[in-house]
Structure 1
Amino acid sequence: MEELLTPISQTYRSSNQAGGGLLGLSSTARPRAEPQIGFGSSTPEEALEVLKGQPGYDDLLRILKWLQDGTRGTHSFDIRKPNPQSAQIVHVLVTEIVANYWALLKESSSAQKKSQPVDLLLASLQSISGLNAALAYIRALLQEARKDPKGIKRSFATPNLASALDLLSCILQHNTDIQSIWQAVSSSQDNAGQVRALGMEFVSLIAGGKVVSLAAEAEHVLHQADMLEEPSWIANSKQYADWLGNNLVDWIRPNPSAGDLKICADLTGRGLKLGHSDLMIKILFTGLVLHAEVHPTFEKLLDLLSSADQRKVLLMVLKFISTKYLSSVDADEAIEDYPTIWAAASALQAVIGTSSVRKAQLVAWLSGATGAGLGETCGIRRAALAVLADDKEAMFSVLESSLGLLGDQLYIKHAPMLQQEAHAQVLLLSAGYVHRKSPIKLNVLLRSSNFLNTISNRIGASQDRAKFLGMVVGEALSGLIHNEDRRLNFHMEITDSGEGKWYKSLVSVVDKTGPISPLKSQEIPKGEPAVPKPVKKTPRPAPKPARTMPQSGFIIEEIEDEDESSEEEDDDLVAYAKPTSDEEDEDDDPTLINRNKPNAPVYIRDLIAYLRDTENYDRQKLALATAPALIRRKASHGTEVSAHAEELASLLVGLEDKYELDDFHGFRTQGMIAIIVAQPQKMARWFAKTFFDGDYSLSQRASVLIVLGIGGREIAGFETSEYSDVASFPSKKLPAKVEKHYEPSAPANRYISASASLRALPPNALDNISQSLSQAFLAPLAAEAADAATGPDVLKLSSFTSRLQQQTSSSAAPVTTSRTKAHGVHSIPNTTANLLATSFFFPLTSRFQAALHSPSATRRGLLFDPSLLTLYLKTLALLLHAAGPSTLALPQMTAEFWDLLLGVRTHCVGEVGVAGAVLFGLMALLDVNENDTRGLCQRHGHEVVESVEWVSGVFDRTRGGDQGGNGEENQVKMMAAGVLIRLREMVERYRALLMGDMIGFS
């Protein structure tokens, strides 16, 4: 049995030591006894010694209370001040006390009401030393857990990691923690150099991203070890930015000292480089300008930032004001005095202040090629110009720059139309201010060649919208300085329309700074439906068995009618189906059956309440199932949908599949499509804006693109939803036997999609439609090439034609192989085509250009995600195809879309999906402009030559056919071949027009 016993430890003693103690053991070999006397003195050395000796709970509380008394000034030792003794005590508290006592301290704190033991520990660690010790401890535990040979789940470091992460989140949980930490550090140092060095370390620690990144890494390890009970706020960059902004507001609001304001400015500038910097600036602007109205302090804070950071803050404030407060200011709003715009002007004035740097940046934003609030309402431009109203030089600079920009031919050809409209509004507004302040300057400017070139270049443009802007600008500016008989008048119906009169009336707008109270009133939600609380479900008693009724003296007998003609008359009467058994009735336990099911919502406000009640499974399921039909039914009856359209759309976009409902995404998508179909002009712009500016995931943004694509095609008549019949009442429909004689015959041309009866929305709905249109584009080319080819050319085209025929035959949607030109072309009304262009297409393309110049790197990264970029390009191509060749804005749509396609060529390298989307976009461009190929070569010769060169390179680099390759590569190669054939036909036919653009082209 001796070999089974293994000694734990051995003790040796020297020969000169006397045997003492029982069993001959030396006194030095006895185990170390715990200290018999607890902490009772007032020195940090004794506190450190007791903490190292594994103190009991009572001794620990006495030490923590003594340390807290030092932070309050009771004695001279303050653990928050950096020195060697405090660093050692903090290290022991973090590495040993937290590992052993953290759970006990939190449990004791929850049981007590007055004194919180865990608060004593946190008060001792709220310092730079405490934060550094906690981060170093988490970093060491992460390395230990990952290097443990037992694995992360069985590592002994993961429980301590959970305690350390919880400790870090508790140290920084209040809105005054940053201020208290820095004041404790700065008050302990008299040397300015040391304070400056500590300030740099403090800023790097708080706003440098170390805390968030390390906490997120620890949370990921705990998730792998199945020890993460709930996500920590400190590992979420959005919540951390919110916490940082609130701390800065509470610190700056009481008018801090110059040194503290400099630290706040450093934290703000460093925080702009973190994620969600726009959220932090929103909190600062709201807390310091709107609510506290400490404008001088906020201005001083901005003055301490660098010029680049000041520009970022100004752009974020302009974006926030426009989105939050001025989004409801419509174009047809009364343009006299508008309190919200005046309040926004006051808020902007508080941001600009007396700084010449920020004023110059505001002028550059108004007159720059990428500024002026692209896609936003005119209210933000009116508010910005109201800030510059008293500065004649700045206003004249805006006017002169805007006039030169609008007259630039490259700008007219390539700039998004929404951008041109915004600059036209800035030009007209600034011209009115200059005319009132210095009419001589305006008179001289209108006699210059700059004004004449602007009007002539605009009138000579190929886009109708560009001509319209040039005409209204010319008439409005001429009306300011010329009499009625001399003023410029084009005598065009479009300039005398409602929109034309609105543009020309902008020169008479006079805005000024007003009270800021209208912005405060919008912070309080009005008329928001209350969220119903979940009701506790109680089982209903089981129903008593029904008593058998005695048989009556007569019998009801069904008598069949022998006249068969009556049956024909009753063919339209549909018999009720047999009631199916309730799924909940199949439960063995009757107490689990829910009999209190909610009724289907019949009003939009009920639907909103159901969607908000995310804790009720029955309401969520019923709301999703009834939303598409209810929205379509209420769309043309009353104002329920129009009044709550944005609220409904925001709820549906942000809704998550919490209960894993069947066909959740299908119902949700159909609901959003119903909103777009009900209010296309308003909600299409809202969805486009939400796609770029909303805080949503990739899947939610993808659903927005699908909704825009399918909704636009349904408005154009290419798709028919299964819920469209509910919009019409039965009294307005013919009987089925009569209606079949009046059904329109299916048109046989390629402009009508084969999927015109869309009954379901799979996740790849847009991909299916794009594939169908691609086959419709490629099939005629393959047929013509196969008929015209002889000899060896037949072998070259055989694989291409055979693969295309196989895909065409295997597709569920039949594709027309004839290219009808003179007849059968699907033309939609100009009103619908104009709606698709102005509300669907242009907001998507224009906001994409604006997002490219956004200071937020997160927005730019989202745009160039391969899957999202592919879906975005396909959506634009489908909208362009849905608008059709009869669209008046087709030249402008073609110009913007072609520039965008050529601009994303670099992102096609290594991404077959993105390359396929670009090729599909080129196919849609060529297909819609088929009857105007000469105009394409004349207006877009450079783009034609570049496209030929790029598509030929894609065709050569893509594997396919006999060289192998997967199905997606084969499809891309076929699309490249089809586009290349069409482009080379255009080049050969109009070579004379393209001679200048074909230099260097082979």
Structure 2
Amino acid sequence: MAPDELASNGLDQVRDIIQRLQAPIPDLPTLLALLGAPLAALGLLPPRFRGHNQNALPDGAFKLGRHIPPIQEAILLKVAPTWEQELRENDALLLADQYFCPDSFWCATDEAGDIALLAYSTLLSTPLTICSLRLLSRLTREYPVDRLFQAVFARKGSQSALFTQRECQKRSIQWEDCVQNIVSVPAKVANAALANKIAIPELLEHGAYLNNLCIRCEQLICSLSTAPPNSDIVSAIAYLLGKLVKVGVFPPTRPTSRSQPSFFLSTLSSIRGNLRALNDTQYATLWHEILDQLPSISTTQSILTSLFSSLSIGFDSDPGVAPNARIKAEASLLLGVVGHLGEARGELWDSITSIILNRGWTEWHARILVCWVAGAQADNVDDATIGAWLSAVVDVWSSPDHIKYSLLSQHQYLTSLLLFTISYLPPSSPRLSSIGLSPTFISGVGTYIGHNDQAVRLCGMLAAEVVAHRTGRDLAFGNWDSEGPGKVWARNLRHKLQFRDIDALLDEDDVDIDVPTSAEQAQVQVTEGHPTREPTIVLATESGYDSDDSLIGYQSEASSRSASPTPSELAEIEKEPTLNVGVKKVARPVYLAQLGELLRSQAGPQGKDDPHHADKIEMALNCAEELIRRKRNYGTELEENVVNLVYALITLQDNYDLDDFESKRQAALNALVGCCPQKAAPCIIEQFFINQYSINQRYVMLNAIAIGARELASLPIPPSASSVPADRPSFPSKLLPAHLHTKYLTAGDTNRIQQITDSLSRVAIDKSKSDDGDKVPGIARERRLRINQSSKITAIEPSKKNNQFPWQNAPPVKDTTFTEVAAEYFIIPFLNRFWLFIRDEQTREERTAHLSGRARYHGAGTGLILNPIVLSHFLSTMTVLVHAAQNAPEWLAIIAPEALEFALTVGTRPISLPDDDDDDDEHTTETGQSPEESARNKEASVLSASLELALIVLDGAKEVDDGRSLGLEHTALLIGTGEWAGTLFARLESGIKAEGGGGAQDMKLRWAAAGVLLKVDEITSKWRRSMIDSANI
């Protein structure tokens, strides 16, 4: 085969791999084969996966820079959301991670470095997920900035190309992109974590990430100091420091918390050690060159300000009178990092004088800075630099604006800086003599002496006296030993001027002088400290014998039967591979279509005869809820499969007595309604009114609708019915097996929908009416407007850019709220289908009304929708839906009147002919019973559920518009509801019992009727006059 044809075939193979990774993948071996071939072509395939490289790529067909980004994109957007769990369970996740963070075995290779560089770009340009954060955390740990610098500038076998102009430009652009990516990680991670409500890994937290980046940056500078000098490398490091300045790692003051990163606070110990360990000057020289090539003066000032504030000073302690070795050590540090200061350094001199003279520092800083300016060496004091420095200090100290407006601390700092600078000049220095005679200094002293504050006057008097004494002139103001404002400071400063810190002797103890802050100490405790277990305390009695006679054991007769295996032992035996030879394991579904196939496996060619049918159903139920929620907002896969999944889950039967079958099926249906309400809710509503389901299946459908609605409305959901009350006996029977024990123990628990409706009714009735503000419409409206007032700060949407990736131009996915879909997809379809169902059922009953016995159709028969058990649950579900939709825009005009009419109709009108074969008398009407007789003979559960629905509607109307819409636009409906509740309550009070009532049900019915009466009275008393006027019109 010709080389061109071979290369073309290789490119086609690579394109095919990328396309197949972006499409649904049928099984795990196919995925491993697709991932293994490109890694094998790069030489990065782990040895244990070489068996999956079935279709090897030709040499030279795979281009790393061209083909790795689309593969990384496909893994993040297509493969990881679907296959990550499966890869982790099969210990194959390393194969996907190799495309982002090659493991330590290949870390030193050029290909690994290039992949890491591309991984940063791909991860930060795609939506960040939990998988992305995990990979970013690994990259941060295994491929820090010094390793990325090596990948850009120190490739093996290309050192000669490093100095060509074209290669340098290419590397410089690549490095700038790399730096831009690594410094933007904390912000993008924080935004993604807030938007997606996911936890941030510890390594990616703002403070920890940037502090670690600073440490690795200093290590990079240290490693580069031993290499030959190169201007491109210095420019690259200066660019990195400039970006770090913009993200705030060079703060002007020492941080006070762990979340505030600081470059020098993290690296000063290492910098001191490197300055001391490296005897040559290469490390210090590299620092000098970097500072000289910083991109702007503001960047230089930010770095130097942070360096000065990070010096290990003694805070509140006094520096002392004698020469201080700690001050000289810090001055030596400045000398090593910044270098000798002189006017010849131009911009650096201007930056340092601006920082030191225009900010308020302490006396420690003044002594350190003067010692550094003098050269930090006793035998080599730089008199020229000291003289120039003195002139700059005098100009600021004598400024009239400074004398008039500065605070006392700034006056004392600049005076200390001036006098410490003078102490380093010999008396015969011409620069010192010129200062004493300069008009600027003399006028400054005069302005100081004329100041109103005595402490400020002392600054000028002390400076004048010291300068006169150093130049051989007689000037003594005296009275320095008296008490007064500023006198103690002046006396101490006069004594300290007798010594110079540059004359101190340094030893090893004076060099390591880092003083950790409280934030650093807390961070050390978090990262290095490990919680220790408390020692076990054993209390012994005085007699040494703490046993109880009632606990003395006795010898039992030995049984000839062997011990039965425990459930854990049975599970281990079942998993034993030698006992399950040839047994096919059911694969975990990774697509919703596969989940549907597992749920519908009974309808396959083998059906129930399939020996793995039970395993398929169990695997599907175990993965259903997690898989459905994972596919939310992930393309159109959920919308395409939601209807099939609803059908499969509703019709599923527990033929194999699987563990937690009902709870898992219910959770899956809840997830379908919560994740795709526009498709799942109408489908469930349609299936509910088909006469082929049992009561249990209808309960599952109603529970899914109600719980899914509350999930969409962000309302709390009560715990499942399997929770055991505290007063329930732990062992109802010692003779039952464990699974039967659990079954009967939880059989009497109240269902979750009933718990919700009971809670809603209780809250509606118990609402306090004592607040006078709520009784005044003006105050109530003003309060409501104040509470609902929108924020005055409006977020400005960023301008749209023509980004490379399509998802960057797409708007963010907005979660569906229940108020958006309540009327269209839940409540109104449910009510409309119910009315149609009632019409059809009553028509069937009328057609067979003349028959008797089994030939007569009864719509409220056992298992049907109009049966009191199902109908009451249906009403409770509608109550939950109406309450959750209270803030919907259609609530007042559509939802409230329709729901109230539904409750009133079901509670008063006959929904089915009575189940009485002897009802053939002439006085029986064709329509059945009268409304009064129907209300009397209604089941107590249906009546209480109808009243609860009416109560929630009335309470919501009272909350939204104080009942105005119902009272004025639906007056007859409101009054009819009140008459119904009043008649029913009067009959209950007179002793008439409803069918199926008694006990708690009777109390609940009486309570609901009273609540409806109260709500109707509140609304009618509020709008009675307007209701009468509208009725007259």
Q: TM-score range by the shorter chain?
A: 0.3 to 0.5
TM-score by length of 2: 0.40
TM-score by length of 1: 0.41
Quick check: which has more Rg, 1 or 2?
2
